[in-house]
Amino acid sequence: MNKPKKVVLAYSGGLDTSIILKWLQTEYGCEVVTFTADLGQGEELEPARAKAELLGVKPQNIFIRDVREEFVRDFVFPMFRANAVYEGLYLLGTAIARPLISKHLVEIARETGADAVAHGATGKGNDQVRFELSAYALEPDIKVIAPWREWDLTSRTRLLEFAEANQIPIAKDKRGEAPFSVDANLLHTSSEGKVLEDPSQEAPDYVCQRTVAPEDAPDTPEMVEIGFERGDAVAVNGERLSPAMLLTKLNELGAKHGVGRLDLVEGRYVGMKSRGVYETPGGTILLAAHRGIESITLDRGAAHLKDELMPRYAELIYFGYWFSPEREMLQAAIDRSQEHVSGTVRVKLYKGAASVVARWSDHSLYSEAHVTFEEDAGAYDQQDAAGFIKLNALRLRLLANRDRRLRG
Amino acid sequence: MNKPKKVVLAYSGGLDTSIILKWLQTEYGCEVVTFTADLGQGEELEPARAKAELLGVKPQNIFIRDVREEFVRDFVFPMFRANAVYEGLYLLGTAIARPLISKHLVEIARETGADAVAHGATGKGNDQVRFELSAYALEPDIKVIAPWREWDLTSRTRLLEFAEANQIPIAKDKRGEAPFSVDANLLHTSSEGKVLEDPSQEAPDYVCQRTVAPEDAPDTPEMVEIGFERGDAVAVNGERLSPAMLLTKLNELGAKHGVGRLDLVEGRYVGMKSRGVYETPGGTILLAAHRGIESITLDRGAAHLKDELMPRYAELIYFGYWFSPEREMLQAAIDRSQEHVSGTVRVKLYKGAASVVARWSDHSLYSEAHVTFEEDAGAYDQQDAAGFIKLNALRLRLLANRDRRLRG
Amino acid sequence: MNKPKKVVLAYSGGLDTSIILKWLQTEYGCEVVTFTADLGQGEELEPARAKAELLGVKPQNIFIRDVREEFVRDFVFPMFRANAVYEGLYLLGTAIARPLISKHLVEIARETGADAVAHGATGKGNDQVRFELSAYALEPDIKVIAPWREWDLTSRTRLLEFAEANQIPIAKDKRGEAPFSVDANLLHTSSEGKVLEDPSQEAPDYVCQRTVAPEDAPDTPEMVEIGFERGDAVAVNGERLSPAMLLTKLNELGAKHGVGRLDLVEGRYVGMKSRGVYETPGGTILLAAHRGIESITLDRGAAHLKDELMPRYAELIYFGYWFSPEREMLQAAIDRSQEHVSGTVRVKLYKGAASVVARWSDHSLYSEAHVTFEEDAGAYDQQDAAGFIKLNALRLRLLANRDRRLRG
Amino acid sequence: MNKPKKVVLAYSGGLDTSIILKWLQTEYGCEVVTFTADLGQGEELEPARAKAELLGVKPQNIFIRDVREEFVRDFVFPMFRANAVYEGLYLLGTAIARPLISKHLVEIARETGADAVAHGATGKGNDQVRFELSAYALEPDIKVIAPWREWDLTSRTRLLEFAEANQIPIAKDKRGEAPFSVDANLLHTSSEGKVLEDPSQEAPDYVCQRTVAPEDAPDTPEMVEIGFERGDAVAVNGERLSPAMLLTKLNELGAKHGVGRLDLVEGRYVGMKSRGVYETPGGTILLAAHRGIESITLDRGAAHLKDELMPRYAELIYFGYWFSPEREMLQAAIDRSQEHVSGTVRVKLYKGAASVVARWSDHSLYSEAHVTFEEDAGAYDQQDAAGFIKLNALRLRLLANRDRRLRG
């Protein structure tokens, strides 16, 4: 790879990406462009501007964008149409944010004439894969720099030495090493590493910082009604909200009731297992509610096909293939199913749980006339069931006859 | 269909199946054999014997069997190896019991020389299909009688008239109509119909009778440790238990903590949607724990394949195809994966939730050496990730190159 | 079911559907509307008009439509985008025509105010299911009459008696019973029944009437070049053709070279196996060519996903679920993949075989620069493969380490 | 990676692997053990022994094994039970041989105390992946050396110079560069590269050397009857044969009739597309015959599940995951289905085609009694079809009702 001349860096303003910034300048002697995104991680972004300037980034090379609405509308919501969970549990909060960041990195590279992008993900994790597959899919000849895979700053001590030698300010609480690593955005907060590395040990209380513990949640349940249109949530308790505002609202409700905590071991794309603690308060409510509205508006054939496709779809997102033809094919199938997924779901929040208790819709396929135990006025002829069963049984009977024949 | 001469009836001892018993005798003039199973539904069985005798069944034609161990060992546990849930939520508690009952009906038919079996499921539900597909798969030429599809006792009034006309004792609380219909066994209790028929209305409090409400559960969490061997639970809190005793134990714990309540709308095999309220206290704990032990002992490739196969597997059981070649094929694949699914999982029970908080195993694939944020002593070469990503990206880059070429 | 007042009959003009026409008039006393379609079966349609009039159908109730272009454009081509084959072999020639016929039956019912439709399929086959599922999906309250399931004309003799008694003209060659049953349309000709009922006996030579025997085909191969745009064939040997004309052209070529004969046993939806002999000359060429153009224009990820979805898609069409949400979902996924499936394929036709020998496209993803055995000027870094393999192997190595550890 | 001390090399005796042998000795200064396998590639093996000795390999380090029976019995036959084809066409002839070779390399490494294995596959292809994933899966800490990814002998000239400098004999016909690259074993011969690199150009006649051209095949068809037991072929024309002898026999028949030629473009695991020409004479017959015997002995449910699983199974083998839990799971499912896949199939061979024309079995599920157009003596009640269709249509009718309701 030829040396890059101009690099767009995914820059948080924190110590690690500041070190990367400086390292890119010194190691490659290249111009650095910074991209700082508001993904709803709950941090102010303007300090990142000041810090980038301090580190010598030209003002016109500093890009700060609020991408919260784009994130929820174009990434989170399409994914929730699929009821996507990875390995049965994980709501993909980190995985779904990475392609969005790469999309902006590539766009800014085009705008600024940069020939490379850089990110702060390590060589052991999934995020490097997600960043890079997305970048290559959008800009096939872009250079990608992953300093953690390249440099020799392989210990905390050396990192701090490098920071000091390069006048990078070090916040006092960053002197010591964090007891675990955190990633946050509007959908979730994940924690992993260090104190969490032994999966036989319970996660310490202090790990979860976004939601209250179920034990500390209110003793009284709270009901929330979520309105859907064509598969996407559009209203909370009757109030229409933009995608990001809606998820923010659900996050508040979920956090208050201790909803969405998860402690699991997952299989990384790079081959090892890792333990993570996730908090997805609003997303957990949304998933339950979406399944709830689908339960009355989605045909069984469509619903079962969706369920069969989902694990693959979730795997693709987890592995980093958001911008791939096969993810887009699955999305087309899923979106095709959502035309009538409209209506309202009531969810009960209580001590960590989000439980659907009622659902209604103009688009409902539920037919009380058919299902009733009462007289159904001819809606359904029970005699039909006899033929239905007889023909479905035919091949099983032919099998049983063969077995009997062969046994003699 | 020629008239049956001797019918084995799935007989609960309750009013409805007593009416069926008498109706079979009068309508077909045939000898009736009764089969009453202890599936853990929590009712005494001996009254069924007395009642059958009262209704004229010969003592040698009365079969009462405790099938709890068989139920859990041969049906529930194999199903839980698959992490089976129907439509994302339902743990299949009713569905999994039906093939077992049919298996005994057919065996008793062979023993007694009966040429038919009969069941008390209606013509609108899934259970008729499950009973009958199972029966035909095991005994292809058996006759199956489903009185609810045949007779003219289509109202409560006519049923009671028939009962009275035939000296069938009617318990006082059966005079009025039950506000909903219940099915119970060791795995779950389901409620449906009547007061539950409007899915926009919350289920009344009195519907759930097996578990306490989460609001009424203890304010202090309780930890339970579940030991697994080759995919099956074998111990609770260090005590080895038989399959049925183990599930009984988990049911007690779950019921106490309000675990396993579910209110949903599902797609029946016969084509309409129906609303059900399920209580699966022990099963819900077991499912979480099984996923927990798999998370450290099952390879990612195996785990993802299982997740992809699961919806089909669950559908087969829900639809009644337990005794089918395709269910057996999927079972073979699933069972093949469970060889090393051994170890222990700690689950926290609190206010309706069962959450895995720790897991350990001699068979663990989790490698702290690989995953650690610390120096890993060469277990993993981060440079490998660069090539891994580069080749996984190649096809995406070729795609992007094409798009660029065609755009000119 | 209340008696129908006005019935739209799928009417071929042949003896069997003429008997049905008359039977509907006499049995139900209802007005009959006839629909006769030119699906490319190779029969003149005007005689059907005369015959319908002769049997008392009002001129305004006689509908004759050339649906060949609609058939190929809206049914055959979408299906071929999926490379659909049932049970590995059958190209679904009969199955794909049924929903089209039902669509017209329903439309004509709306136009004429009819309350029922009728078809001439028997109660043992798949076609009844396909006709009726399609009709119900498009017009949920339509009545469907399937005379073969209802009447007592269960032998050839009784049918002929009924025909004679009702002045239905009987062609001389219809006096005797046909040695097998035939269905034909632009895509294929199928033969089944009678002389074909024993699958251990080779099909007689006279069964195949649409294609020459490979033995009688020209001794010299013929090349044909098929042009594709967005997944559909649009040109043959450089000449742009409409869908139906294109398939007609390929049929001529295929028939001449004995392409597309198939003798198989298939699993019917109603549960039994049946033996069929199929001739699909043009379709067989088209399938090979479509796979050929996909091989250079479709990404591997998309192609493999298509291959995995295909059996389900084919099953849905075979079973009669063309008008179902799940078929439409799969179609959306498949169509999404075809945007760049454009280019040209050369196929060699010889003695029954259609073999792709060359393919090229402006949309090609094939990169000689990458694949070459020669110096590739840096397009591909072979070192990347080492990391790619190392990380893909990691989980397998962890598995092997566990096994070794446990063996001690 | 520490320097290997002793390396087991997959050694053909040809020029390329001889250069590798010498390069390993000189580059790593390590002891080389050679493994030469008779996979049915049609070459004598003893010259490899002489050549290895000439190059300084100790006699006790030369391993020559006839693995044909193992190859067919343990690799080819299990794969054919699945009807595996990659991307719709490729019968995986090269892919299925690689894990077998790695298995022996690893075994010999254990026997001889070697710490590494080496192979002669390039860094662009699939074979390196297959060799190495298999080796790592069987021996997680083995070193793998892939000289083509490491050395600087990147042109034909440099290779020959190295050979000359190291006294490696160069056959006269190896002086010039081969016009394409060949791999052969009992299942197939593949050709790729050089003259085949442009997929828009037809393959030259001289590429296929194992089968006659269809044009040169006999003008008279030949029938062959293949007997199966539990999914595996066991007899040809009534003569029981061992697996390898049976495949040899079918190869002769296929080669004579020009069966099994294939020209395609495939998607490699490493990301690019490549063009190959394959000759799989016996395998092509076997695949057709296996589908033929399954068509009468395998239940529809099992058959369809197999068809859905097959693309994934084939992908796993193509990608090199033979020794993986997910391949073993799928194999368990497939094998479970083959218990009754026994009987005989007659295949017609003619001018490149292998067509099933008849099939029979004691295990047949085909029921003439059910399928017959004639009077079926009550085997099948056509009335059942009405109910079957009605209930399968119910959900579609509910959908159509909703659409109508919403349209107003």
- One DSSP character per residue, B280-342 reads -HHHHHHHHHHHHHHHHHS-HHHHHHHHHHHHHHHHHHHHT-TTSHHHHHHHHHHHHHTTT--
- Residue C1 pLDDT grade (very low, low, confident, very high; cuts 50, 70, 90): low
Decide if A328 is inside a domain: no
Rg (alpha carbons) of chain C, rounded to whole number: 25
Q: How many residues does chain D have?
A: 408
Which region, left, alpha or beta, applies to residue C381 given φ > 0 means left and ψ of -120 to 50 means alpha? Answer: beta
H or E element at residue B192: strand B189-192
Print pLDDT tens along chain B (408 aa): 578 999 999 999 999 999 999 999 999 999 999 999 999 999 889 999 999 999 999 999 999 999 999 999 999 999 999 999 999 999 999 999 999 999 999 999 999 999 999 999 999 999 999 999 999 999 999 999 999 999 999 888 899 999 999 999 888 777 777 888 999 999 999 999 889 999 999 999 999 999 999 999 999 999 999 999 999 999 999 999 999 999 999 999 999 999 999 999 999 999 999 999 999 999 999 999 999 999 999 999 999 999 999 999 999 999 999 999 999 999 999 999 999 999 999 999 999 999 999 999 999 999 988 887 777 777 889 999 999 999 999 999 999 999 999 997
Where in the sequence is the domain holding D119, given as residue range(s)? 6-67+95-177
What's the whole-number mean pLDDT along residues A218-231? 98
Domain count for chain D: 3
Q: Do the beta carbons of residue D250 and residue D237 sit within 8 Å?
A: no
Q: In percent, how much of chain C has pLDDT > 70? A: 100
Minimal-distance CA residue of chain D relative to A339: D403
Q: D157 and D238: one domain?
A: no
Confidence of residue C65 (pLDDT cuts 50, 70, 90): very high
Phi, psi of A311, deg, nearest 5: -55, -40
- Find the CATH number of the domain harbouring D260: 3.90.1260.10
- Catalytic residue, chosen from D181, D295, D324, D364, is D181
Which residue in this structure is represented by tokens 């890792």?
A: A274
- List CB contacts (< 8 A) between B405 and chain A: none
The amino acid at residue A96 is I
Residue C379 sits at φ, ψ, to 5 deg, of -60, -30
Structure tokens at C136: 């119900």
Tokens of A7: 């690099």
**CA–CA dist D196, D176 (Å, integer):** 17
pLDDT at B1: 59
Give Dmax (Cα) for chain D. Answer: 89
pLDDT band at C379 (very low <50, low <70, confident <90, very high): confident
Judged by DSSP in three states, D36 sits in strand
C26 and C155 in a single domain? The answer is yes
Chains that touch B (3 or more CB pairs under 8 A): A, C, D
Residues in chain B, how many? Answer: 408
Which C residues 60-79 touch D at CB under 8 Å?
A: none
Regarding whether A163 and A216 lie in a shared domain, the answer is no
List % helix, strand, coil for chain B (3-state, nearest 5): 45, 20, 35
> How many other C-beta atoms are found inside a 10 Å radius of the C-beta of residue C42?
13
Query: What does the pLDDT read at residue D200?
Result: 97
Among A4, A5, A3, A67, CA closest to A35: A67
Residue type, B293: I
Cα–Cα distance between C50 and D3 in angstroms, integer? 90
Which of B177, B200, B218 is the last residue in one of the domains? B177
**Residue of A218, A193, A202 lying closest to A352 (CA atoms):** A218
The arithmetic mean of pLDDT across residues C72-81, rounded, is 98
ipTM of the complex: 0.96
User: pTM, whole model, 2 decimals?
Assistant: 0.97
Chain B residues touching D272 at Cβ < 8 A: 394-395, 398
Q: Which of C362, C228, C339 is nearest to C288 (CA)?
A: C228
The reply to whether D372 falls in a domain is: yes
Q: What angle do CA A196, A201, A204 make, to 5 degrees?
A: 60
Tell me the Cα Rg of chain B: 25
Amino acid occupying residue B242: S
At C29-61, the pLDDT tens digits run 999 999 999 999 998 899 999 999 999 999 999
Percent residues over pLDDT 70 in chain D: 100
- Confirm whether A90 is domain-assigned: no
Tell me if residue A24 falls in helix, strand or coil.
Answer: helix
Query: Are the CB atoms for C33 and C7 separated by under 8 Å?
Result: yes
Count the neighbouring beta carbons within 10 Å of the beta carbon of residue D379.
Answer: 15
Q: Is B98 a catalytic residue?
A: yes
For helices A127-138 and A300-319, the axis angle rounded to 10 degrees is: 100
pLDDT reported for residue D268: 97
Residue C335 domain flag: no
Q: Is the pLDDT of residue D218 over 80?
A: yes
DSSP D155: S
Rg, Å, chain A Cα set: 25
C32 and C172 inside one domain: yes
pLDDT at C229 over 80: yes
Residue C328 and residue A321: Cβ atoms within 8 Å?
A: no
Mean pLDDT of A252-271: 98
Q: Within this chain, do residues D136 and D200 fall inside the same structural domain, yes or no? A: no
What does the pLDDT read at residue B178? 83
User: Are A385 and B315 in contact (CB < 8 Å)?
Assistant: no
Measure CB to CB from residue D350 to each of C214, C266, C392 and give the nearest one.
C214
Q: Percentage of chain D with pLDDT > 90?
A: 90
Is A187 in contact with A282 (CB distance < 8 Å)? yes
Final residue before a domain boundary, out of A177, A193, A215: A177
The C-alpha atoms of residue D76 and residue D63 are separated, in whole angstroms, by 23
Q: Which residues are registered as beta bridge partners of B231?
A: none
Give the confidence band of C177 by pLDDT, cuts at 50, 70, 90: confident
Helix (H) / strand (E) containing B245: helix B243-256
Let me know: does B84 contact B280? Beta carbons within 8 Å: no
| Mean pLDDT (whole number) for A337-351 | 98
Q: Report pLDDT for A68.
A: 98
D-chain residue closest to A366, CA distance: D398
Binding residues of B: 10-18, 37, 90, 120, 122, 126-127, 130, 181, 190, 266, 278
Ligand-binding annotation for A375, yes or no, is no
- Residues C11 and C20: their CA atoms lie apart, in Å, by 9
| Other CB atoms within 10 Å distance of the CB of residue C41 | 16
Other Cβ atoms within 10 Å of B393 Cβ, number: 23
Contact B76, B222 (CB under 8 A): no
Residue B152 annotated among the catalytic residues of the structure: no
Q: How much is the pLDDT for B160?
A: 92
- Identify the CATH number of the domain in which residue D33 sits: 3.40.50.620
Query: Is C270 in the same domain as C348?
Result: yes
- Does D108 map to a domain? yes
Burial of C229 (0-12, 13-18, 19+ CB in 10 A): middle
Domain annotation covers residue B78: no
- Spell out the residues 6+ positions from residue B172 whose beta carbon is closer than 8 angstroms to its own: none
Whole-number Å distance between alpha carbons of A223 and A354: 9
- From D140, D160, D177, give the residue that closes a domain: D177
pLDDT digits (tens, 9 = 90+) for B354-387: 999 999 999 999 998 888 777 777 788 999 999 9
> To the nearest whole number, what is the mean pLDDT of chain A?
95
Whether A399 is covered by a domain: the verdict is yes
Q: A52 in helix, strand or coil?
A: helix
Question: B290 with B378, same domain?
Answer: no
For residue A201, the model assigns a pLDDT of 97
pLDDT at residue A167 in the model: 92
Find the mean pLDDT for residues A101-126.
97
Average pLDDT, integer, range C382-408: 95
3-state secondary structure of D82: coil
Other CB atoms within 10 Å distance of the CB of residue C8:
31
**CA nearest to B313 within chain D:** D305
Span C302-321, pLDDT tens digits? 999 999 999 999 999 999 99
Q: Does residue B310 lie within any of the structural domains?
A: no
Axis-axis angle for helices B127-138, B98-112 (nearest 10): 40
- Are the CB atoms for B266 and B274 separated by under 8 Å? yes
User: So what's the pLDDT on residue C2?
Assistant: 77
The torsion region of residue D403 among left (phi > 0), alpha (psi -120 to 50) and beta comes to: alpha
> pLDDT band for position C174 (50/70/90)?
confident
Give D365's contacts in chain A (Cβ within 8 Å).
395, 398-399, 402
Count Cβ atoms below 10 Å from residue C408 Cβ, excluding itself: 4
Q: Report the alpha-carbon distance of residue D301 to residue B327 in Å, rounded.
A: 9
Q: What is the pLDDT of residues D20-49, one digit of tens each?
A: 999 999 999 999 999 999 999 998 899 999
**Ligand-binding site membership of A191 (annotated):** no
Structure tokens of D292?
A: 């033929």
DSSP one-letter code for B210? S
Q: Is C204 helix (H, G, I), strand (E, B) or coil?
A: coil
B278 and B345 part of one domain: yes
- CA distances to B252, B281, B386 from B256, rounded to whole Å, are 6, 9, 52
Question: Rg (Cα) of chain D, in Å, rounded?
Answer: 25
Q: How far is B367 from chain A (nearest CA, A)?
A: 7
Helix (H) or strand (E) holding D328: helix D325-337
Q: In which band, very low, low, confident or very high, does the pLDDT at D1 lie, cut at 50, 70 and 90?
A: low
Whether C356 and C373 map to the same domain: the answer is no
Q: Is D10 annotated as a binding residue?
A: yes
Distance of residue B238 Cα from the nearest chain C Cα, in angstroms: 22
- Paired tokens of C214: 């490979």
Let me know whether C32 and C131 are in one domain: yes
Give CA–CA dist D285/D352, Å, rounded.
10
Backbone angles phi, psi at B356, to 5 degrees: -70, 130
Token pair for B150: 């045949």
Least confident of A100-114, B388-402, D258-272, D361-375: D361-375
Residue D204 Cα distances to C71, C346, D199, D208, D281, angstroms: 39, 15, 12, 8, 19
pLDDT above 90 covers a percentage of chain A that reads 90
Claim to verify: residue B245 and residue B344 sit in the same structural domain? yes
Tell me: do A231 and A169 sit in the same domain. Answer: no
Tens digit of each residue's pLDDT (9 = 90 or more) over C246-291: 999 999 999 999 999 999 999 999 999 999 999 999 999 999 999 9
Told to judge if D362 belongs to the known catalytic residues of this protein, a careful annotator would answer: no
* Closest C-alpha among A360, A277, A269, A248 to residue A317: A269
Q: Mutating which of D272, D388, D403 best tests the A interface, going by the most A Cβ atoms within 10 A?
A: D388
Q: What does DSSP assign to residue B203? A: P
Decide: A7 and A24 in contact? Cβ < 8 Å.
yes
Q: Please report the pLDDT score of residue A1 as a whole number.
A: 59
- List alpha helices for C237-382, DSSP H: 243-256, 281-297, 300-319, 325-337, 368-371
Contact indicator for D366, C199 with CB cutoff of 8 Å? yes
Bridge partner list, A8: A33, A117
The bridge status of strand D232-236 relative to strand D116-118 is unpaired
- A312 contacts on C by Cβ (under 8 Å): 305
